[in-house]
Chain A
Amino acid sequence: MTAEVLEENAPASRLNAGRILLLTPPAIVLLLLLIIPILNILDQSFRTFQAGRVGAVAGGGRTLQNYLELLDSAYFYYFVETFRISFIGTVISVVLAFPIAYLITRLRSQFLRGVVAGGLIGIISVSTLVRVYALLLTFGAVGFGRPLSSLLGVTMSSSEYTEFMVLLGLVYFHTPISVLILIGSIQAINPRLIEAAQSLGAPRWKSHLSVTIPLALPGIGAAFVISFAVCVSAFVIPLILGAGRVQFVSNLIYSRFSVVSNYPSGSAISIVLLITAVLLVIILPWIFSKIFAKSPIFARVQK
């Protein structure tokens, strides 16, 4: 009652002025540090590259050259490789994360559940660079690189082993995150459904295949989308573990700045990567929702 009276009596203009005052600093930060710089690289991406110049000639014409050269196989290859390695890394992460998440939710002792989840959060909160460097030491020449590469039948300096290192990096970073995402969706499943399937004679593996996994599909989808979107824009992992042999699109952008100082080309690749990252976050969930809606198992269990 009082709330309603207050709402009616509150002078709207004063409240709005206060709100505008509050929103001004964050709006300025975003405008100055995000929107204008992004629009700037959008503009730069249509300019002609001039060696030794930061930014393009002011009066120069516009060109699609920077985008067209990305279609060239040498550049396009970076995109294909980024997507391919990210996809493999994401699939391994999510597949590995599922049974771990399931087991955590089925732990009877609350203390043990807390310890495992706490351990995962602890590992995630270790500095990114520290984890990447730790992987480099462990699976590089200093650590178990030699025996592991000979076990895989490749040499340690081969591009296959480098790619393996990058994959290890992606899996190391994304499995714990996927586990934490999946715990939520598996916890929401009523355990009686699985018990019912088993008491009706289904073996365990079959009950999980036909009950647990379909019910956890939205969680699996979410884990996949988040991991894949982050993998595609990965930078530090390929920078350190890729050793210059395996490079992602992000690394290509960095070398545009640090090696050749070609800002218009770097801008064009940045714009493409930006659009890709945003589209992945928007499109992948949409695709997943379509698949789930059509999946007969999912629809049946939902009922």
Chain B
Amino acid sequence: MNRIIDDLLIVLLLCVIALFVVFMILPLVVAVTMAFDGRNYMGAFPPTDFSLQWVHKFFGDEFYMKGVRTSFLIAFFTMIISTGVGLAAAVALADRDFPGKDLLAALFLSPLVIPAVVIGFALLLFFSQIGVFDGFIRLLAGHVLITIPYAIRVSLAGLVAIPKSTREAALVLGANEWKAFWTITLPLAKTNVFAAAIFAFIFSMDDVAVSLFLSSVDAYTLPVAMVGMMRSAFDLSVAAGAVFLMVVMTTIMLAADILFGIGKVLTRR
């Protein structure tokens, strides 16, 4: 009897897992396929013929392209600022203990716990009250805030892994703190610093919630443009945009892994 229950459960389990795998992969397949739909209306899946019309429409539409440009610019500046500021915080936190260190570390990571919508709403109201209406500045500020916790965490993990004796050896041999940082600490932590930078870039490109609040008519990111299109037009150019976003992010991550080996940061414990 128990054998039968065992066997039945195993079969049931395998079915559930097979269904799960299909559930995970199917939507992405559908989205990519629909982006190359040859029909000029939103027909049912699967498409009967294929064309690049939606891709052309996406790249030819100034509304999207403006979003693409803003997204890249914001992600780039967010990456620079977050990595720099995050590394500074991580260096301070990686050093010896000091009073209030745990509290400070918790505070630096707190944007992770706060719902993105609350961050977006609070920043929007604050900027409106102090008179900052420039969409680009607002977006950059919001993206820096939400990426800094990741930058600090990833940099800190790299810095903590460096044996203290290495830096102390440099100090004993006459290097000053500044020189020891640039010649010893930073080169040893560089994989994590690169990873922090890439994460900041990717999370900035990915954000929807905070950006929806902080965008303005002439400064909006690609995801914001796509949400706008999803609501106003039933049009598969959004699918083309989704494929574009997927390709860009995957390329960046693969390139970063090949060039800097940041995959190690994810798998190493």
Contacts and interface: CB of A to CB of B under 8 A. Distances in A.
Interface of A: 2-3, 6-7, 15-16, 18-19, 22-23, 25-26, 29-30, 33-34, 36-38, 40-41, 44, 54-55, 96, 99-100, 103, 121, 123, 125-131, 133-139, 141-144, 172, 175-176, 203-206, 229, 233, 235-236, 239-240, 250, 253-254, 256-257, 263, 266-267, 270, 273-274, 277-278, 281
Contacts of B44: 141-143
B236 to A, nearest CB: 9
B45 A142 contact: yes
Given A134-B27, A206-B2, A25 B85 contact: yes
A92 to B, nearest CB: 11
A256 to B, nearest CB: 8
Nearest to A36: B126
- Which secondary structure dominates chain A's binding surface? helix
Interface in B1-57: 2-3, 5-6, 9-10, 13, 16-17, 20, 23-28, 30-31, 34, 42-45
Interface string B80-95: 0000111011011001
Contacts of B119: 34, 37
A245 to B, nearest CB: 14
A204 B9 contact: yes
B65 interface: no
Interface string B97-140: 01000001001101101111111011111101100000000000
B92 A29 contact: no
A274 B31 CA distance: 34
B262 interface: no
A34 B95 CA distance: 25
14 contacts: A2-B172, A6-B168, A22-B92, A34-B122, A41-B125, A125-B249, A127-B206, A134-B27, A172-B24, A205-B6, A263-B125, A270-B117, A274-B115, A274-B118
Interface size class, chain B: 35 or more
Contacts of B232: none
Contacts of A3: 164-165, 168
Nearest to A145: B44
B79 interface: no
A124 to B, nearest CB: 10
B5 A29 contact: no
A25 B87 CA distance: 10
B141 interface: yes
Contacts of A138: 26-27, 30-31, 45
Contact of A133 (B129, B168, B171, B230): B230
B253 A142 contact: no
A127 B246 contact: yes
